[in-house]
Amino acid sequence: MKQPIIIALDFDSITDTKKFLAGMGGQKLYVKVGMELFYKEGPGIADMLKSEGHHLFLDLKLHDIPNTVKKAMKVLASLNPDLLNVHAAGGRAMMEAALEGLEAGTPAGCSRPKLIGVTQLTSTPPDMLRRELLIEKSMEETVISYAKLVRDAGLDGVVCSVQESRTVKAACGPSFLTVTPGIRLPGDPAGDQARTATPELARRELADHVVSGRSITGKEDSLKAYTEMLKEWESVRI
């Protein structure tokens, strides 16, 4: 069964990660390893999670010259993740190179991991585009423009906020993935996120996956928070 909720394992050690997983009732989860945990623990963390049967999103957001990204992707592919990403701002040549590296590094007999492009971080408020990044277009236009570039480079989808998910689907097609971070249960603090949404809204806006960290991992009872998120998601029929 498709697992819609990706849990961000933003811990700084394998010990804390194991403690968290032990409290999740032995379920096979869809988890995300980002820079904090990967830089601390290295590739071994991927091996551990995959060997325990979890789905793995390696959220390392590569952004460099095409040759470097291609070679890095080839290495990451050998870790057998299910999903990886790059920054779409790296451009089409970089994204095509990433895909080539991923294809070259995928072990024989395994299917290529999905590759998605980050459009605009969910921590970016709309007014920051013009104020800091000198982008004159609206957030929606900017995200759609990046999404089309990602699609044209041959990638499988994007990271965007729930607010842009439906428009991305309309522009790039229903099978083009939208993976949406910034997910909060009602009443939870946004923290540094600017474009947030509940799992229910994400489902209504046609997101394929939601990514949530603190709204689950920051709770006393993480299993309860995760179950609430799933319930919210499943309450929407589309």
Ligand X SMILES: O=c1ccn([C@@H]2O[C@H](COP(=O)(O)O)[C@@H](O)[C@H]2O)c(=O)[nH]1
Annotated binding site for substrate: 10, 32, 59-68, 122, 184, 193, 213-214
From the list 14-22, 114-122, 138-146, 226-234, the region that binds ligand X by CB under 6 A is 114-122
What is the Cα 144 distance to its own chain's centre?
17
Bridge pairing between strands 30-33 and 5-8: parallel
For position 214 contacting ligand X by CB under 6 A, the verdict is yes
For position 197 contacting ligand X by CB under 6 A, the verdict is no
Out of 213, 226, 232, 233, name the contact with ligand X by CB under 6 A: 213
For position 157 contacting ligand X by CB under 6 A, the verdict is no
Smallest gap from Cβ 34 to ligand X, in A, equals: 4
For position 181 contacting ligand X by CB under 6 A, the verdict is yes
DSSP letter, residue 197: B
Q: 47 an active-site residue? A: no
Out of 102, 118, 153, 168, name the contact with ligand X by CB under 6 A: 118
Smallest gap from Cβ 96 to ligand X, in A, equals: 21
Helices (H), ranges, the chain: 14-22, 35-41, 44-51, 66-77, 92-105, 126-131, 139-152, 162-172, 199-204, 214-217, 222-234
Q: In this structure, are residues 66 and 100 in contact, taking their beta carbons and an 8 Å threshold?
A: no
